[in-house]
A and B are shown apart, each in its own frame.
Chain A
Amino acid sequence: MKSIFFHLMPYPELPPDFPEQHRSVWVDIDPKLYDPTVGHQTYNAYLDQLEFAAQCGFDAVGINEHHSNGYGLMPSPNIIAAALSRNCPDTNIVVLGDSVALYNPPLRVAEEIAMLDGITGGRMIAGFPVGSPMDTIYAYGQNPATLRERYHEGVDLIRQAWTSDEVFSFNGNYNKLRYVNVWPRPVQQPHPPIWIPGGGSVDTWDWCAAEDLVYCYLSYFGYKAGLRTMQGFWKKVQELGKETNPFQGGFAQFVAVADTEAEAWDLYREPAEYFFNTCLHVYAGYADPPGYKTPNTVRAGVEGMVERAAREATARREASAADAAKAGSAKPSFGSKKLSFEEMVEKGYIILGNPTQVTEQVHELATTMNVGHLMVFSHFGNMDPELVKMNTEMYATKVMPEVAGLFEDEYEDHWWPQADHQLAPVGSRAQ
């Protein structure tokens, strides 16, 4: 099993009363809360953490794209990938991913990933998400009724651009291009592996299963809650009579390792509470714009990940308002009851413990969900850099070796950069 050190890059200094004073961490978060000096320090600290994870031996480092978001400071993941590409010469980089429909034309994604593949010598994995409603519909003004068609057309364009050895014309409904000709070409041929981050759309299960693409569920709610979604995907794979190769699946998981369980409870409480109670303070009105879901998903009653985050935040907010009303408080507030650290761990949002306990849970996650690619959140919330370092190193040295062999003997990972096709680092990267 591959372990990917994944970073969300949250803004670490949202005020303690953020949930009470602000409606949402996403879309209409107050611009005045952003301090460029903090941003400067944060970007560099996070890049250090990604580079450290690469040095520790993670199979890859992973990043993603969000807009107008207090818990995701990467509007352009490719810029972060470019920053990493020179300092992580031996590590694969998972961009999970570029929200294809937001690029005009999406050919830009084909070009930038090809550039990154050239710099890294063939160590890129290209993720193509539809993108969350907050990012695509609200922050970037895409029309929900046409977003998915635009997205699929964009992915089709990128794949054709990478694989065609001729200059060609692309006559799409949303992209009219007389000359398609990606220069440079990716090192990996025919193209870097393509992973699709999904949030629960049943049509995405169908598509990934049919096209042999990796389906990744980037959940914040842990493996216990994510099981149904992954099972939905594997059921589609089985219905097509295909092999349920765990390397065709990916999942994201918060992990908190320490020497002892007691120490882990002590160390990780604050950053976990910051993430789940402040960073996920998302206004429910941004979670489900009409048209974002396919009719099949509506009919199946499947709830997306950000929709769940917003729903849970709303439920806590309503409970808090009810308590305030009982107490006779008339003061309006956006605030909500806090999710306790104990609940986060009990429900599996966070895998916590000593190395043995974490290893057992990661093993259980991988085998019950049948996933061969684990996106590990070793950093979350406003975690202190030294603690990130410790968490990263302990996972890499004490957990990863115990789970690395999972699935490797039985299955081939067709969705990973192939070492025998990679180019050796050159120039200063070689040192």
Chain B
Amino acid sequence: MSGSTPLAGHFAPGTLPYRDGHIGVVELGEGPTVGYLHGMLGNPGVHAVLEELAAAGHHVVAPSLPGFTGSSEPDGLRNLHDWVVATSEVVDVAGLTGAPLVASSVGAMLALELAAVRPEAFGSMVLVAPFGLWDDSDPVADPFGTTLSVQRAMLTEDTTASAAFFDDPSDLPADMVVEHGVHRYLTRTAAAQLIWPLPEWGLADRLHRVSNPVTLVHGAKDRIIPASYLERWAGALPNAVGTHLLDDAGHQADFDQPAAVARIAAAAFA
């Protein structure tokens, strides 16, 4: 893997070539390889759930999807089909083909979409609050029709848990502050592209194709996807092997409760 890209700053400790650009990647730990597909917060550098997965004895590889933290601006991604193909390429480029996977939020939605057409892309999956289902009687909230500070409060129960994404280090040079701001904006843009205006693209009709064992995790205080969706997913997936509702965790439970998510993953992948 190549070194850091000056534009990505601390968001991308490493990069991998991808199409005409690159993707950011975080890699750490030793042991069997586990993939991590990020959620709306991307991979803001080496973050806690990656460290916890590594500490549990895994070689963790966490690529940033196109447009997210540390990756080049996406080109040619206009619809969900484009994104699924891109995710498939990213999985291969990152050397994650067939590996067990932890995925969160928008990353979990893409993992399911890819698994529906290419089940061999992953082994077992631990999915944290996937997008992709919609219930009119209990709708998913809009994380974009709001201010940035409110959006931050919607993403994690403890807003300090997302500091690596939202707050720049105090010693970051001024030009990097600007670039970090741009990367944050592009990351939020990429997330919006995947779930705007409603995060429902017909995935329910494709879930019967997902044969991978799936362990589901949901924050009890998820302010974007109601906790009731945990059981909806469990009922919709043909091979759901476990559900975990985590107290004191919001939408990105992998940021609020990284140790708990890593423990669940270690058990699922054992």
Contacts and interface: CB of A to CB of B under 8 A. Distances in A.
B18 interface: no
Contacts of B78: 146, 149, 173-174
The 3 closest A-B pairs by CB, nearest first: A145-B193, A290-B188, A291-B189
Contacts of A405: none
Contact of B192 (A143, A173, A174, A298): A143
Contacts of A288: 148
Interface residues of A, number: 24
B192 A289 contact: yes
A27 B148 CA distance: 18
A144 B196 contact: yes
Interface stretch (B19-27, B49-57, B178-186, B209-217): B178-186
Given A138-B145, A173-B78, A290-B191, A143 B197 contact: yes
Interface string A140-159: 01111110010000000000
B137 to A, nearest CB: 20
Interface of A is mostly: loop
A284 interface: yes
A408 to B, nearest CB: 43
Nearest to A142: B197
Nearest to B190: A145
Interface string B53-76: 000000000000000000001000
A107 interface: no
A95 interface: no
A39 to B, nearest CB: 26
Nearest to A295: B182
A298 B147 contact: no
Contacts of B148: 288
B146 interface: yes
A430 to B, nearest CB: 48
Contacts of B186: 295
15 contacts: A137-B196, A141-B197, A143-B196, A144-B144, A146-B78, A146-B193, A284-B147, A285-B145, A285-B147, A289-B196, A290-B185, A291-B193, A295-B73, A298-B181, A299-B178
Contacts of B146: 285
In this complex, the member of B73, B78, B144 whose beta carbon has the largest number of chain A beta carbons within 10 angstroms is B144
Given A137-B144, A137-B196, 14 more contacts: A137-B197, A142-B197, A143-B192, A145-B189, A149-B78, A285-B145, A285-B147, A288-B148, A289-B144, A289-B196, A291-B188, A295-B185, A298-B185, A299-B182
Contacts of B196: 137, 141, 143-145, 289
A293 interface: yes
In this complex, the member of A173, A288, A290, A299 whose beta carbon has the largest number of chain B beta carbons within 10 angstroms is A290
B150 interface: yes
B193 A285 contact: no
Interface string B193-212: 10011000000000000000
A286 interface: yes
Nearest to A145: B193
A290 B192 contact: yes
Contacts of A295: 73, 182, 185-186
Nearest to A24: B145
B6 to A, nearest CB: 15
B179 to A, nearest CB: 8
Given A143-B192, A174-B78, A293 B185 contact: yes
A314 B149 CA distance: 13
B168 to A, nearest CB: 15
B81 to A, nearest CB: 12
Interface string A11-34: 000000000000000010000000
Contacts of B185: 290, 293, 295, 298
Contacts of A143: 192-193, 196-197
Interface in A278-297: 284-286, 288-291, 293, 295
